[in-house]
């Protein structure tokens, strides 16, 4: 078991070594160095050649009826940290701005508990690379990782939430998170001298028109009672004030709480790109990539049981949430295995993905206690 001081040390160490999707080598080595210090009697490991930063750890149960999976994401974001923390990122321009360092610390705490207190059922801990992009969950599934004794009968996973009080557990039946689609739009026109626009085809003007027209998708095509998101977070064009930009690149993300909504927004964006290309005599290549970012659908039976437990656990503050437009590739695994995703409150005024994101470390121990308590009860009861 890990004491409060160990947990804080682990969290701070992980915070200093953030790594981008599929590059989480130091992180994985660090996780292994901690887990190798636990009681090894009930533990088995699985590594994946084709997905080298992933790690699976199985805890053998003493009277197993099932295998319960617990998934934890391990990647970080290309964000330059501005928290001013003494244990800030040492990987310049990369930060655990989504709290996966906290997720890992909680998962290690739960694993440490069951490495000592052998569980009744088998437990499977999946330390998953590439949640923010590259859909590590889907990659692992497609590599056949969850087969034989490594197949979970049910899967659980959490995400930290700065809007909930420290340590509170948030969850709801049905959809917890949106499905997403990564959008890349390449615009090709003709560069030229700023003084002779008639001889060029300006992709800054074309990109501006496209962005403005795309704003009508959510305002005019999406049912306001259902909601959808189209955000462009990156726009690149031009190099100097007096050269007309012949190329532009727009990157963004689509979000919807149902697959139907995601497909509606995708379709409207395709139509608008085609129309703008014609109007501006440009070539526009639209690339849409949903990958494994399906809406995160909680299993009804298991989630009712989970919520009931959390509501009645004396040391847990449970908060019923509403669906959020954040995405998660755990949606893919929950489409393959029944399970529950839930929030862990970390009470911060800064949002997820902010360069100042500073989750309250007090959530770690509360999270571990809530999850271990739940798993022990889940193993005793049929759902
Ligand atoms: C919890 C969270 O912040 N997840 C990410 C998931 C990224 C989805 C994908 N790369 C996309 O941008 O479409 C999020 O941004 O919600």
Q: Is residue 253 in contact with ligand 1, taking CB distance under 6 Å?
A: yes
Which residue's entry shows tokens 């959530």? 363
pLDDT digits (tens, 9 = 90+) for 82-115: 999 999 999 999 999 999 999 999 999 999 999 9
pLDDT digits (tens, 9 = 90+) for 191-211: 999 999 999 999 999 999 999
When the pLDDT of each residue in the chain is averaged and rounded to a whole number, the result is 98
Select which of 121, 132, 247, 348 is catalytic: 132
Mean pLDDT of 300-309: 98
Mean pLDDT of 146-151: 97
Residues 164, 171 contacting (CB under 8 angstroms): no
Q: Is residue 327 in contact with ligand 1, taking CB distance under 6 Å?
A: yes
Residue 1 above 90 pLDDT? no
Task: For the chain, give the percent of residues with pLDDT over 70.
Answer: 100
Q: Is residue 348 in contact with ligand 1, taking CB distance under 6 Å?
A: no
Given pLDDT bands bounded at 50, 70 and 90, which one contains residue 313?
A: very high
Q: Is residue 133 in contact with ligand 1, taking CB distance under 6 Å?
A: yes
Burial (CB count <10 Å: 0-12, 13-18, 19+), residue 253: middle
- Distance between Cα 167 and ligand 1 center (Å): 23
CA distances from 89 to 53, 78, 79, 132, 159 (A): 19, 11, 10, 18, 20
Q: Is residue 326 in contact with ligand 1, taking CB distance under 6 Å?
A: yes
> Is 24 a catalytic site residue?
no
Q: How far apart are the first and last CA of the chain?
A: 28
Residue bearing the CA closest to ligand 1, atom 4: 327
Ligand 1: which of 328, 331, 359 to mutate, most ligand atoms within 8 Å of CB? 328
Output the pLDDT for position 292: 95
Output the pLDDT for position 130: 98
pLDDT digits (tens, 9 = 90+) for 112-147: 999 999 999 999 999 999 999 999 999 999 999 999
98 is in an annotated binding site: yes
The conformation of residue 199, written as its DSSP 8-state character, comes to: G
- Distance between Cα 372 and ligand 1 center (Å): 27
Give the residue among 248, 277, 249, 255 at the shortest CA–CA distance from 182.
Answer: 255
Q: Is residue 180 in contact with ligand 1, taking CB distance under 6 Å?
A: yes
Select which of 19, 73, 101, 154 is catalytic: 73
Ligand 1: which of 326, 330, 332, 351 to mutate, most ligand atoms within 8 Å of CB? 326
pLDDT digits (tens, 9 = 90+) for 49-76: 999 999 999 999 999 999 999 999 999 9
- Distance between Cα 132 and ligand 1 center (Å): 5
> What is the C-alpha separation between 219 and 144, in angstroms, rounded?
42
98 CA: nearest ligand 1 atom: 3
Given pLDDT bands bounded at 50, 70 and 90, which one contains residue 157?
A: very high
Ligand 1: which of 327, 343, 344, 350 to mutate, most ligand atoms within 8 Å of CB? 327
103 is in an annotated binding site: no
96 is in an annotated binding site: no
Q: Which domains does the chain have, with CATH numbers?
A: 4-176+295-380 (3.40.630.10), 179-289 (3.30.70.360)
Mean pLDDT of 341-364: 98
DSSP 140-182: HHHTT-S-GGG--SEEEEEEEETTS-TT-EEE-SSEEE-EEEE
Q: What pTM was estimated for this model as a whole? A: 0.95
Mean pLDDT of 234-249: 98
> Is 73 a catalytic site residue?
yes
Output the pLDDT for position 205: 98
């Amino acid at each position: 078991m890990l004491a409060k001081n160990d947990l804080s040390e682990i969290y701070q160490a992980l915070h200093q070594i953030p790594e981008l999707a599929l590059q989480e080598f130091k992180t994985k080595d660090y996780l292994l160095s901690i887990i190798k210090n636990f009681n090894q009697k009930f533990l088995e490991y699985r590594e994946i050649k084709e997905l080298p930063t992933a790690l699976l750890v199985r805890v053998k149960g003493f009277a197993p009826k099932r295998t319960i999976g617990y998934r934890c994401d391990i990647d970080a974001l290309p964000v330059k940290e501005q928290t001013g923390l003494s244990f800030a990122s040492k990987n310049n321009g990369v930060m655990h701005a989504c709290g996966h360092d906290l997720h890992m610390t909680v998962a290690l705490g739960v694993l440490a508990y069951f490495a000592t207190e052998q569980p009744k059922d088998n437990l499977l801990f999946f330390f998953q690379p590439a949640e923010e992009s590259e859909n590590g969950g889907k990659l692992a599934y497609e590599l056949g990782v969850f087969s034989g004794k490594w197949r979970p009968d049910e899967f659980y996973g959490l995400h930290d939430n700065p809007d909930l009080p420290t340590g509170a557990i948030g969850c709801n039946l049905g959809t917890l998170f949106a499905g997403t689609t990564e959008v890349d739009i390449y615009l090709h026109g003709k560069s030229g001298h700023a003084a002779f626009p008639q001889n060029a085809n300006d992709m800054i003007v074309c990109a501006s028109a496209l962005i403005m027209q795309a704003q009508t998708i959510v305002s005019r095509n999406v049912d306001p009672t259902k909601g959808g998101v189209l955000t462009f977070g990156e726009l690149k064009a031009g190099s100097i004030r007096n050269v007309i930009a012949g190329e532009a690149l727009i990157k963004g993300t689509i979000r919807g709480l149902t697959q139907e909504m995601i497909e509606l927004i995708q379709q409207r964006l395709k139509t608008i790109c085609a129309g703008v290309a014609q109007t501006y005599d440009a070539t526009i290549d639209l690339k849409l990539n949903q990958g494994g970012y399906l809406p995160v659908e909680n299993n009804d039976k298991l989630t009712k049981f989970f919520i009931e437990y959390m509501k009645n656990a004396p040391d847990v503050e449970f908060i019923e949430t509403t669906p959020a437009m954040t995405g998660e590739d755990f949606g893919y695994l929950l489409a393959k295995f029944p399970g529950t995703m839930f929030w862990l409150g970390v009470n911060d005024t800064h949002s997820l993905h902010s360069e100042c994101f500073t989750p309250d470390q007090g959530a770690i121990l509360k999270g571990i206690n809530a999850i271990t308590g739940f798993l022990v009860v889940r193993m005793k009861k049929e759902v």
